[in-house]
Structure 1
Amino acid sequence: MKIAIGNDHAGPEYKKALVAMLEAKGIEVINYGTDTFDSVDYPDFGHKVAQDVEDKKVDFGIVICGSGNGIAMSANKHQGVRCALCWTKEIAVLARQHNDANVISIPARFTAIPQVIEMVEAFLTTEFEGGRHANRVGKIACS
């Protein structure tokens, strides 16, 4: 499995913890995020992650900013990207099961690192249910 991760200045500690967890599981990580707390623009990182997902260079993406909203909005501008803002494990599971989300957005200022690790683990191991959800997911993209 290969994952792209991107974050702004609100998420360096979250990214570091997630990269350690992912690499310990043998998952390859492409790091597009900042490693400092100096102010940067979240779209710069969200677009890089989403482009890799759109181009199928990675299996999933993880994006992190303060609220999780701005970077999710940026990622969702890309065709084939379904970025879900998650703040609990249950929402992460439903984003995969019902929405076939391929990018998870983390609100760093509203979650704790152990909670985020649990969410990402659940997100990556949950399968899309298909069925009645497939038709709905098909209606998400605009052509």
Structure 2
Amino acid sequence: MATALTDDIDVLAKAKRAIGGSYIPAADEPYMSEAQQDYFRKLLHAWKRSILDAAAGTLQQLQDGPIREPDLNDRASSETDWGIELRTRDRQRKLIAKIDSALRRIEEGEYGYCEVTGEPIGLGRLEARPIATMTVEAQEAHERREKISRDD
């Protein structure tokens, strides 16, 4: 069974295929150049569109009718699958807010820079997670602080 993270990766991969084109951001060009910003803007819009399309499909399936499995085990299995599907859609709904935030940061000229240190996040990290707001180092430090405060 696919995990929520796998679903996000699959949807992001689908978005990358959807924008097509031959341009791929390269380290040898100015960081967050107009071409790079345009690439990430298109990627974020395609990612959001993919999520919304998947959500519309789920909504349509829910509207088509209730689960009518005659066997109790089959019904339980179907209900479990629907529960997982709905949790995935809820997670993706929250992801849309992060995508919208990333699009806003592009428009404001803040995209691609760490919100903590102000340093470039890096193209590799943004390719893997276009909604990233911190460098890997800042994110790790943030997670360590969270873990320590949870352990207290």
Q: Same fold (TM over 0.5)?
A: no
Instruction: Point out the structure with the larger strand share.
Output: 1
TM-score by length of 2: 0.26
TM-score by length of 1: 0.27
The higher-RCO structure (CA 8 Å, 6+ apart) is 1
Instruction: Flag the structure with larger Rg.
Output: 2
